[in-house]
Structure 1
Amino acid sequence: MWRKLLLTVATLTVLVSAAASENPPAARRVLVKYSINENDPKQLEEKVTIPLERILRKLERVTESHSMTTHGLVQIELSFKNGATEDDRATVTKFVEPLEIDKALRIISRSITLVPARLPGEFDQANQLARQSIQTIMQDQRIPGLQIAVVKNDNVVFSESYGLANIENNVPASRWIRFPLNSATKAFTGVAVMQLVEAGLVDLDAPLSQYLEDLPQAWRDIRVRQLLAHTSGLPDIVDPQGAPNGGNEAAAWQAARAQAVNAPAGEAFSYNQTNYALLAQIISKQGKMPYDRFIAERQFAIAGMHWATFGDSYDLVSNAATIYAHTTRGLSHWFYEIPHGLWAGGGIQTTADEVAQWLVALSKGRLISQASIRRMWTAEKLNNGKDGEWGGGWPVLQTTPELQVAGIGGARAAFIVYPEQKLAIVVLTNLAGAHPQRFIPQIAEFYKNANQDH
């Protein structure tokens, strides 16, 4: 009989190996191991707690409901630290098709809270400082809900959520609540373009007319890299509030095409959404699939972003945080519109954990090569030889004394990468006006100086 305990899942290790002795020979053994630490009662209150029996029942239900058969082995092992006895250990085994092992892991990850592994005691001081700082910032800025994830040396070393995803219904901002990335989506679009560059399907120096037809004459010689870096000089397809000009996407395109360009290509940095709407069309045409499917298959799937999706305030997205803003009426709902054709500039909804996983996949070369990353993170040169403000989909915050690049969106979501430090901080909030890019550097300092003894 299983001993009923309230547990916080603290670490996750996944090992996949060949199992030639099993029948059939092609079967593979997958070990998913969770280590549980009950040392900190306060931490238990902040994180999701799951009774051991419930974990086992969930695993049984998800495997049975997906018709998995006895060809490969999936084993869940729960172990306990801090003086736990052998009676506190439990193992449950289920079998799945070898070709469906990845599906099994996705199903399990949706049913049980997972936190990436870290060494005991490593970064504890930095994590505590980050925790205290975030809670103070949330109180000072009156941020309803927030997720944070910290990547150091290609490992997620800190991941927590605070506050409420929906105030009126008292819904906690748990780690699997989806938050919008808004314009931080452009970093994913930048990676997508570099994937097509590596495949020989896109040339950053090519004019738009090489890939898109029926463009206004003044748009045809603009280079792909100038779209990525917002140096195209094109008029914006959205109004100052971010809504499509003319009230809908078709009217917005008609209005943009009728306008004169704001400046010659390469003359100046000028942020707008037209650039990324055109990039979505290039990705769709050269990738031979819709933009959102390309991102899902070539990035979400590879990085293990199983919750990531696309949408805005008007789409029915499950487990999505409600967005708020402080107005003259007090705290109010904040609605934003991103039509399908503009998703490349701001449509992703996901979690801080998943953005962290994506950054790890990027760092490890699982999405694009290191050479492509360097190119993507290099500021685009203007016609006068000076650096622009963006590289290929990423704001370049600074180049000296160390490089800092970012994804920033909606005045409520941000991640900053410090490549020389092998550090990245992801903060997602549901408050328009939170501007997490402004306080992320404060959090980063805790980890730059953290004890890294193994």
Structure 2
Amino acid sequence: MRRCWLPVLIGLGILLSGCKNNESLQSVLTQQVASNAESYGINASSVVVVKNGKQLYKGHHGVMAVNSTEKVSDTSIFPIYSVAKLFASTLTMQLAEQGKLQLSDPISQHLVGLPSAWQHITISQLINHASGLPEFYDVKDGKFIGPATLQEVIDDNKNKPLMFEPNTQTQYNQTGYLLVRMLIEKMYQKSYEQSVKDKILSPLGLKNTFLDLNNVPKERLVAAYRPNSGKTLKTSEFFFPLYGSSAGSIYSSAEDLSLFITALAQGKLVSQDKLLAFWQPHQLHDDESYFASGWVIDNAGNWQHVGHDGGASLRVRLLYQDNLDEFFVVVYLTNGNKDGVWSSTLTNSVQQHILPDYYSRIATWFY
């Protein structure tokens, strides 16, 4: 317990003394990332911080695998797990801004042949985990067990009852993002992967992001370990098939992800006014969700933030105030850990050093 609190105590001590210049910030964040790695049993880390489009920090810690001597670098590729959902969310927001759909549309308005119980589920309910759809896969011995094709997903689940009435609660779900994939393919008349490339990767020049594991240069792929592995890091063998790329099967670098989130904040993918509207909490029947168009929303003092966890090992976060005139991006990638540290703890440990007001820095640890 004492060791786990060490990064927080180090961070709070530096927080109270303040970072007087960028050189000091570089040193502080490098120390913080190293302390996190030691305390939480993290083999590889890659961290990027951006303020208003300008990179404040880029740092890497560790090696590509526990049995490797090759250091993590700018071009190291990590599996990003559910952060992949933010690409699907962005494509969906683009379609909504173009007037090709509304998030309130029932999915059956755009996709035919779905089970009758799914007909009235809205796009917003799908991307905000309020659909009640059954989960399409199981996990056995840490491995994915599920259908081989997307059509088999539909066939295998069409007669299963919904887990709850749509929009009555939030329950994290992957199946909804498979329907979002189908929706995007229907709208653009091309594969989901090609749409991500055409609408996001190519326009932004993201050359270190891959939607198919087979295309990732193996020498640049960081080994994946389970979160909360215990005393020894255990290899993670959980990977979605290609049809799951809209839910959790993308591979990327910290810098590419920072460029993606930064471009989004700058209105290059979705206009800023629309983006701020999309980032309002999804409204359940009797409550308010902590998802907004698929992004996890929260606040830290005077700053709102949106982002997403990936595999309980990594996180991306965008912080902003009433508008997007001033913003910070924090990308904190790791390849697993020994003690189960939650990814928000990692991003918080960086966030506490970069926010300009002490209230928000301290509030980082209490929201």
Both structures adopt the same fold (TM-score exceeding 0.5): yes
Contact 2:107 2:121 in 1 (8 A): yes
Match for residue 83 of structure 1?
none
Residues 367-382 of structure 1: pairs in structure 2 closer than 5 A: 367-382=269-284
Write 1 or 2 for the structure with the bigger share of strand: 1
Structure 2 residue aligned with 1:431, among 309, 313, 336? 336
Equivalent residue letter for 1:248: A
- 1:330 aligns to 2:235 (yes or no): no
Match of 1:209 among 105, 108, 114: 108
Q: Does 1:178 align with 2:83?
A: no
What's 1:140 paired with? 39
What secondary structure sits across from 2:113 in the alignment? coil
Q: Deviations over 1:392-441 (max 9, x none)?
A: 12111348753121121111120111112511110111115453322211
Matched-pair contact (CA < 8 Å) for 1:244–1:252: no
Counterpart of 1:276? 177
Distance in 1, Cα, partners of 2:304 & 2:127: 19
* CA distance in 2: counterparts of 1:407 and 1:189, whole angstroms: 13
CA deviations on 1:205-254 (whole Å, 9 max, x unpaired) are 11111111111111001111111111111111122568655453455433
1:234 alignment partner in structure 2: 133
Gaps of 5+ in 1: 1-120
Deviations 1:34-92 (A, max 9, x none): xxxxxxxxxxxxxxxxxxxxxxxxxxxxxxxxxxxxxxxxxxxxxxxxxxxxxxxxxxx
2:159 match:
258
Aligned residues: 328
Instruction: Select which of 245, 267, 274 maps to 2:168.
Output: 267
How has the CA–CA distance of structure 1 residues 400 and 128 changed in structure 2, closer, same or farther, with 3 Å as cutoff?
A: closer
After superposition, where does 1:35-184 map in structure 2 within 5 Å? Answer: 123-184=22-83
SS at match of 1:403: strand
Could you tell me the TM-score, scaled by structure 2's length?
Answer: 0.83
Choose which of 347, 356, 359 in structure 2 pairs with 1:449.
356
Residues 136 and 146 in structure 2, CA contact (< 8 A), matched pair in contact too = no
Residue 245 of structure 2 aligns to a residue in which SS?
helix
Contact 2:143–2:237 at 8 Å: present in 1 too? Answer: no
Matched, 1:360 2:262: yes
Match of 1:410?
311
With structure 1 as the length reference, what TM-score do the two structures score? 0.68
Bigger-Rg structure (1/2): 1
Alpha-carbon RMSD across the aligned residues, in angstroms, is 2.2
Q: Classify the secondary structure of the residue corresponding to 2:64.
A: strand
Alpha-carbon distance change, 418 to 229 in structure 1, aligned in 2, over 3 angstroms: same
Letter in 2 for 1:373: L
The SS at the match of 2:298 is: strand
- Paired AA for residue 39 in structure 2: D
Deviations 1:99-136 (A, max 9, x none): xxxxxxxxxxxxxxxxxxxxxx9522222211111100
Q: Structure 1 residue 329: deviation in Å? A: 7.6
- Give the SS at the match of 2:47: strand
d(CA) in 2 for partners of 1:286 and 1:362?
21
In the alignment, the residues of structure 1 paired with residue 301 and residue 154 of structure 2 have an alpha-carbon distance, to the nearest angstrom, of 39
Partners of 1:442 and 1:302 lie apart in 2 by 32
Q: How far is the alpha carbon of 1:382 from its aligned partner?
A: 0.3
Secondary structure at the counterpart of residue 395 of structure 1: strand
Letter matched to residue 336 of structure 2: L
SS of structure 1 residue aligned to 2:157: helix
The whole-number CA distance in structure 2 between the counterparts of 1:157 and 1:253 is 45
Query: Which ranges of structure 2 fall in alignment gaps of 5 or more residues?
Result: 1-19, 359-367
SS at match of 1:374: helix
Give the counterpart of 1:350 among 252, 256, 261.
252
Shift of the 290–320 alpha-carbon distance from structure 1 to 2, 3 Å rule, reads same
> Is the 1:126–1:450 contact (alpha carbons within 8 Å) kept by the matching residues of 2?
no
Q: Which has the higher contact order (CA 8 A, sep 6+)?
A: 2
